[in-house]
Amino acid sequence: MGEKKKLRVAVDAMGGDHAPSEIIKGALQAARQFGLDIIFTGDKTKVEQELGQNDVSGVSVEVVHTSQVIQDTEQPAIAVMKKPDSSIAVAMKLVKEGRADAMVSAGPTGAVMVAALQYLGPLPGVDRPVMGGPFLQLAPKTVVLDLGANVGCQPYHLVNFAVIGTVMAKTFYGIENPRVGLLNVGAEEGKGDPLSKEAYNLLKKSGLNFIGNVEGLDIPLGKADVIVCDGFTGNIIVKFSESLGQVVKNWLISNLKDVAGIEQKADMLYRLMSPGAVMGGGPMLGINGVVAKAHGRSRAPQIAGTIQQAKIAYDADFVSMLRNELERVKNIFETK
């Protein structure tokens, strides 16, 4: 067995609330810890200045200068189109051209998504990247998707989410034969709106480990390993949960104010209920390439963690597995 080629990660040095300093620190940390090569995209002067303040010995670091940055306030599609020399776009191009194996950014989600679609493209059968993961840390291995990127789905979208969730649960959470549930208003077959009914029929034939409908109450209980829903429902639940977590935290602090350390406990519970506080990073699902998005608020450890996610995806051949599974399922329905 020959020596494995080192993974080359293109890191957007300019994206995120604490860019470039925390991005660069985190990337260097990951490079050392996981044995990676890093290519930063961003303002060369700023990046090199920052690198000068860190220990880069023994780490292979390259900087590709970019003249543009996409801001959080910009309309993503327009910003990506108008800024081909942005740090996000250039990092994507490095992956596209085979100069990097993966791309990581803490920049605006919409812009990363649009750039991923434009430069790397979606996997077959996927219309746009899927947002998903174990959003509720009280059920830390239950992958829920879509969480808001795909609103107004067709039944086949839900089947694709199930495929993506299954591959994700296997790759990232080591679940051998993930149980897939369809989020619905009742447990029995035949329940729900037209989308649910048709998706149920497709999922039954999908060859996935489909366990039928699951209800809202089953999410915190982790009844399935993968729970699929329209991004409309997913978005509402995720935001509801985060806000409820905040209200619960405040309630605990004011109702148990004599308990020592209640602020810390209440905050811990908030984090368990809040996807925003914990979804530090994850792979962008359904893209023809390894792209991992870090939360905008990320500091060095979260950046390193997101780069690790990219490494896991790369090492497990996540994108090929996903492509094959999407094609397998597509063939089932096309030959019927």
Among 231, 281, 282, 305, binds a copy of itself (CB under 8 A): 231
Give CA–CA dist 76/90, Å, rounded: 15
Is 78 a residue that touches a copy of itself (CB under 8 A)? no
Minimum CB separation from a copy of itself for residue 292, in Å?
Answer: 23
Question: How many residues lie near a copy of itself (CB under 8 A)?
Answer: 46
Give CA–CA dist 206/336, Å, rounded: 11
Is 146 a residue that touches a copy of itself (CB under 8 A)? no
Q: Which two tokens stand for residue 83?
A: 């800024």
Closest to a copy of itself by CB, 272 or 332 = 272
Is 273 a residue that touches a copy of itself (CB under 8 A)? yes
Closest to a copy of itself by CB, 196 or 298 = 196
Closest to a copy of itself by CB, 34 or 232 = 232
Is 217 a residue that touches a copy of itself (CB under 8 A)? yes
Among 138, 253, 312, 316, binds a copy of itself (CB under 8 A): 138
Minimum CB separation from a copy of itself for residue 134, in Å?
Answer: 14
Provide the CB-side half-sphere exposure for 126 (13 A, CA): 31
Give CA–CA dist 26/6, Å, rounded: 18
Query: 238 to 257, contacts with a copy of itself by CB under 8 A?
Result: 238-244, 246-248, 251-252, 255-256
Query: 184 to 213, contacts with a copy of itself by CB under 8 A?
Result: 185, 192-194, 196
Give the binding site for a copy of itself (CB under 8 A).
Answer: 136, 138, 148, 151-152, 183, 185, 192-194, 196, 215-221, 229-233, 235-244, 246-248, 251-252, 255-256, 259, 265, 268-269, 272-273
